[in-house]
Structure 1
């Protein structure tokens, strides 16, 4: 996905391109990638871009692949072993358990480069190829549609194609000749993807990069189709450059489809959200109208360019980029709204979705969801809509009298069915009122449910709707957080923070002259986790070495901490060499 930075790496070494450039962002164009859900099986396919009537087979197969899941950070790991990025060895039981969650397809990313011999043959290590065959066999036996690819090779060696066109193409062709031979007689439910997130270093521009990708995709198609067996008609999946949904990238891939004139092809793109929201930077704390429009624009382009013309589309990866660190980078309620809407809108655009999971979602040995609430929302979105709300947090200050609190429901085509605490239905008119989509919880109900009003969440309510999953509402008692003076170093500095029940949303950083301080100097709002992070159990707010690396020596920086209650607190830090002093405002 195109981005403000070229790439982002997790500690496991995973690399993913990010969102579009700063000029586009400041111009309000946002970050446009792509994604979606599966087409309804049996739908009559419209004419393709080159005037043929699609057979329906590819469309039906891609529809049958909905929904899908990624076995990420295992066989795609760039170390010597599938466990080198921290995940356990893949087991047959794991795939059985994933299938039991309702997934119909599985994308198995595979990185081959470190398991290949030298030129000219680039022979894949037999033991590694057999291991991939074993995992693919387990998945097929489970009834999955299975997609394998050439994964992190894209940036490890394929990216060098501008400088070594002959060498890279030779190695790429050798790789796919071996894979085509190894899997030629496998079930037609096995799908080949030519390359993951193709990108090129040192190309002369978009036209040149498009030419290189077209050469790879065309060569892949020729090799697989010429290898015979089930490969003669196997579904082949071709990506756009960077798996982006920018219209220019879609048009480039369309030209390749037109030239190949093959009904058993599908397109693939990825979608990780509007970049400021996806990583929580530049004040992008909410799944607001801007973030929603980024999604609808991307999915509309994909649908109009491909699906509407009979070419199926697989959203090979989707999620939020902040998940690379942990799933708390984006606030829970805003995260749930993103996934609810993504599943719904992708479904309306008939695009098959494959959730990116590098081990942070489905526990690889415990076989449970690390965030069951998130998966419930994702699973519900495969078939229906769920009601949500403007927030999942209702704050009441302990230092003030309790008053009525109002939130706005997003009915999403459902109807409100009631408000529940535990197994008890609250009473309309006494405990809450509803005017249109404005839900008001009364002061008397808040007082009763909050008990002794200790700081933090005192009670959990669920707004229920006519369909979909309920919407959780935390009743939180808080007061404005208190910060204290501190000293430390640029490598280890923490602001002592008595959060008093509140939660940190974002942080601004400015110099005395009003200019922005720290990383991403185009915005005063810094990136959650990259520049700062709350540690509620330790009672501190940590500022990172990345933040101080881009702070001027000797200049006082004013930090403004924004909390989800609406409270703001200012604080000052000054860097002197590697020493840091922090003082309250």
Structure 2
């Protein structure tokens, strides 16, 4: 992402100042489709088709993986929490079914002064080593100019000649270094281009077109295998709004180069991807956002013979260090659907992995079940269900529970607990897509009914991976009074087997409270969090946004369906919380 909101949400080791800058930039980009834009041409340009070699290369790159937060990290490869790259890492990536890697590189912090802007030879050698290792593993490699986009390239409008000179010098050195590398090495002109000091989209499109023309000229004129190397060009912000796609189509029409591909990024429907405005589930709105995005890039490019790479995809707030922002089953539904729809739209996808998926110290997947879902989506659909959790109130008798199956074109084949198949008719029944677990079966599965997960089932389908269902004993969470200050408020909480889904905040007059004043449902991490088993935390941003001496009513929503009401009052630098 521009700035890698993952730097904000799932990237460690960044300064708070940088994080604030990334948040502001991403929010501006994320909301662009909702804002008025300049008029679009009624008949957008129809660029020439890419060569068969370009289309086959991009197809052969599927699926791809990003070596994120490494050579793009500032100032060095380990600065954002990942270990040095090893050849074993690349072998692991290859062994897991990936056919390509994207190698984001930030060059600016490793360059000398004007006019030569010489890239540090040691840094170039590091990049070269990873490229060669990956090529030796028979992986395609895509290298780019990464965080330079917002560190100095974004000043093209206000410092045109100096920025263009530096951009030219940088790509001239990269092109010369790799001019004789095999054709499996691919160049991407710039990551998530953005420009400051402009007054319109037309200005932004013009600047991006100038950069891409310069990039194209430098690489092609450098000779060697660069004369026919596949070049990848991004839309403005790497965004898939139709105006961005049409502008890039115009660029391709002007270049008339058959060895080109285009790229956009996708991190999901923004409210779902960060848990705000009550979007806790991968619902029809999130699906429509995904299909609309992929349909637009398909219609604008793929259908016209120009390949498209989703150069980064994930979920903005998915982070193994902070579970709960997006519920596990909803994460699985998102990746299952994305992989299938990308395949149907003939899009090559490259997973953004800053360390939150593959543990680079152990070379093991942090969530093997999730990776199995992602990998399966490359070739087939998997069945899911309305939830991956069945909640049993501990304080009352066990009753039957029903989930809605989402077969996704597969056939439901049964339930399994460990090595035992559950019996249809006795342990569960199926009516249409309604799966009902009997009270008798749930009583046995719940065992001594300790709070939390008592048993895990697998719903099996004719294709894809099984769907996990946790049987959970719970009682309504209990909150306690608390005192804090403008640094935040920690609310002691006995979750009693339940899990927080989201939080609403309103003043007594019914208006919204919190940093996101446009919705009552506040954003996880920005306003609140619940990462430990003993408390819910209200952030400093949340308490500082509150009106002085005005009571706020919080409604905490839990995944069982339970809710808890809590009152907060800020008086000067003091914040108090009390149960309703």
- SS of alignment partner, residue 18 of structure 1: helix
With over 3 angstroms needed to count, the CA separation of the structure-2 counterparts of 1:326 and 1:481, relative to structure 1, is closer
- TM-score relative to the length of structure 1: 0.93
Following superposition of structure 1 onto structure 2, how do residues 217-366 of structure 1 map, counting pairs within 5 Å? 217-323=212-318, 326=322, 328-366=324-362
Conserved 8 A contact 2:550-2:569: yes
CA RMSD of aligned residues (A): 2.0
* Distance in 1 between residues matched to 2:434 and 2:176, nearest whole Å: 61
- SS of alignment partner, residue 321 of structure 1: coil
Alpha-carbon offset, residue 55 of structure 1: 2.9
Alpha-carbon offset, residue 8 of structure 1: 4.8
With over 3 angstroms needed to count, the CA separation of the structure-2 counterparts of 1:154 and 1:53, relative to structure 1, is closer
Match of 1:517 among 510, 513, 517: 513
Match of 2:136 among 122, 141, 147: 141
- SS of alignment partner, residue 257 of structure 2: coil
* Distance in 2 between residues matched to 1:124 and 1:536, nearest whole Å: 45
Q: Does 1:18 align with 2:26?
A: yes
- SS of alignment partner, residue 530 of structure 2: strand
**Mean alpha-carbon deviation: is it higher for 479-488 or for 340-349?**
479-488
Q: Does 1:372 align with 2:368?
A: yes
Alpha-carbon offset, residue 540 of structure 1: 0.7
Give the structure 2 partner of residue 45 of structure 1: none
Give the structure 1 partner of residue 451 of structure 2: 455
* Distance in 1 between residues matched to 2:414 and 2:388, nearest whole Å: 16
Alpha-carbon offset, residue 51 of structure 1: 7.0
With over 3 angstroms needed to count, the CA separation of the structure-2 counterparts of 1:25 and 1:399, relative to structure 1, is farther
Alpha-carbon offset, residue 251 of structure 1: 0.3
* Distance in 2 between residues matched to 1:237 and 1:24, nearest whole Å: 23
* Distance in 2 between residues matched to 1:49 and 1:24, nearest whole Å: 22
Give the structure 1 partner of residue 482 of structure 2: 486
- TM-score relative to the length of structure 2: 0.94
With over 3 angstroms needed to count, the CA separation of the structure-2 counterparts of 1:313 and 1:467, relative to structure 1, is same
With over 3 angstroms needed to count, the CA separation of the structure-2 counterparts of 1:244 and 1:22, relative to structure 1, is closer
Gaps of 5+ in 2: 37-43
- SS of alignment partner, residue 458 of structure 1: strand
Give the structure 2 partner of residue 37 of structure 1: none
Give the structure 2 partner of residue 34 of structure 1: none
Conserved 8 A contact 1:186-1:230: yes
With over 3 angstroms needed to count, the CA separation of the structure-2 counterparts of 1:182 and 1:26, relative to structure 1, is closer
With over 3 angstroms needed to count, the CA separation of the structure-2 counterparts of 1:223 and 1:134, relative to structure 1, is same
Alpha-carbon offset, residue 489 of structure 1: 2.0
Alpha-carbon offset, residue 52 of structure 1: 4.7
- SS of alignment partner, residue 359 of structure 2: coil
* Distance in 2 between residues matched to 1:562 and 1:582, nearest whole Å: 17
- SS of alignment partner, residue 458 of structure 2: strand
Give the structure 1 partner of residue 39 of structure 2: none
Give the structure 2 partner of residue 445 of structure 1: 441
Conserved 8 A contact 2:45-2:250: no
* Distance in 2 between residues matched to 1:59 and 1:101, nearest whole Å: 24
Following superposition of structure 1 onto structure 2, how do residues 397-408 of structure 1 map, counting pairs within 5 Å? 397-408=393-404
- SS of alignment partner, residue 214 of structure 1: helix
Match of 2:173 among 175, 178, 186: 178
Conserved 8 A contact 1:559-1:573: yes
Give the structure 1 partner of residue 86 of structure 2: 91
Conserved 8 A contact 2:135-2:184: yes
